[in-house]
């Protein structure tokens, strides 16, 4: 899946993307059938949103005979990551610590949630320190092999 650093997906487009991520190679009709029950949008509106997503590079279209088949060109995780980055830039001047502190200070977290956050942060710190040690080990053992 390609990276789209400037990809901005509206709320209405997000609803269409949720349907697109459900299956590969869908027709517009299949996508419309999934989106309509969520929001009462016309066929024309959903087709317009789908066309915008193709223009933005979030959705790929493949022609198979007379059918146009749509697939996600970007993963849901990548979309969420880009949206989170955009949100952080817009509201916290790109400062991730400020974003996290805002949520910690202004939202209610259970003991279990706090414990899980601590665990994830600890894991993250451990992962960041490990590659450096692993690289030194790899380099010293490859150096030993060369000297032999």
The whole-number mean pLDDT for each consecutive block of 10 residues of the chain, a chain of 148 residues, reads: 64 93 94 85 91 96 94 95 91 92 90 92 85 52 47
- Which pLDDT does position 132 carry in this prediction? 57
- Predicted pLDDT at 134: 55
C-beta of residue 52 within 8 angstroms of C-beta of residue 59: no
pLDDT at residue number 131: 57
Instruction: Answer yes or no: are the C-beta atoms of 25 and 62 closer than 8 Å.
Output: yes
Q: Write out the two tokens for 4.
A: 């789209």
pLDDT at 4: 43
Count the neighbouring beta carbons within 10 Å of the beta carbon of residue 79. 19
- What does the pLDDT read at residue 37? 77
């Amino acid at each position: 899946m390609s990276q789209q650093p400037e990809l901005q997906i509206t709320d209405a487009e997000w609803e269409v993307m949720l349907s697109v991520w459900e299956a590969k190679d869908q027709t517009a009709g299949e996508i419309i059938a999934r989106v309509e029950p969520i929001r009462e949008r016309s066929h024309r509106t959903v087709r317009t949103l789908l066309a915008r997503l193709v223009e933005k590079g979030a959705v790929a279209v493949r022609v198979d005979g007379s059918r146009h088949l749509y697939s996600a060109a970007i993963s849901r995780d990548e979309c969420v990551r880009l949206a989170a980055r955009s949100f952080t830039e817009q509201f916290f001047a790109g400062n991730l610590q400020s974003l996290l502190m805002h949520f910690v200070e202004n939202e209610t977290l259970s003991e279990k949630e706090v414990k899980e956050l601590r665990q994830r942060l600890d894991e993250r710190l451990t992962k960041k320190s490990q590659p450096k040690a692993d690289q030194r080990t790899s380099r010293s053992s490859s150096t030993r092999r060369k000297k032999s």
